[in-house]
């Protein structure tokens, strides 16, 4: 979600780390009228599974590069809770959205 406008893009994260991620959107990020530019604040949400429940992990970011339907995102804040930090660590270590 682009913080300033509320515009939402769906897609997949790639090349994720504790510092940020590459985001591949399902539509153009540079289309006139809804272009995302470098420096734009955004929020990326991850849906993580634990058993039959989901934990939504929202990460504030800043756009570092944009090309067609790709954007490089830099995480701009530390994790708000130890549980969310542990969830991200598990996701990175297992390359899965499952926490169990």
Domain edges within the chain: 11-46+53-77
Fold of the CATH domain 11-46+53-77: Thrombin, subunit H (2.40.10)
With H, G, I as helix, E, B as strand and everything else as coil, classify residue 24: strand
26-57 residues labelled b (16+ CB within 10 A) or e (exposed): eeebeeeeeebeeebebebebebeeeeeeeeb
Per-residue pLDDT of the chain (100 residues; tens, 9 = 90+): 887 678 889 998 888 888 889 999 999 999 888 888 999 999 988 888 878 888 888 888 999 999 999 999 998 876 667 777 777 788 888 877 777 7
State pTM to two decimals: 0.79
């Amino acid at each position: 979600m682009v913080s300033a406008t509320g515009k939402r893009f769906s897609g997949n994260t790639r090349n994720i780390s504790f510092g940020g991620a590459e985001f591949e959107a399902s539509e153009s990020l540079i289309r006139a009228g809804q272009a995302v530019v470098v420096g734009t604040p955004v929020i990326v949400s991850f849906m993580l599974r634990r058993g039959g429940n989901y934990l939504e992990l929202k990460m504030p970011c800043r756009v570092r590069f944009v090309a067609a339907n790709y954007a490089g995102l830099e995480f701009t804040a530390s994790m708000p809770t130890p549980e969310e930090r542990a969830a991200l660590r598990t996701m990175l270590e297992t390359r899965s959205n499952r926490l169990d």
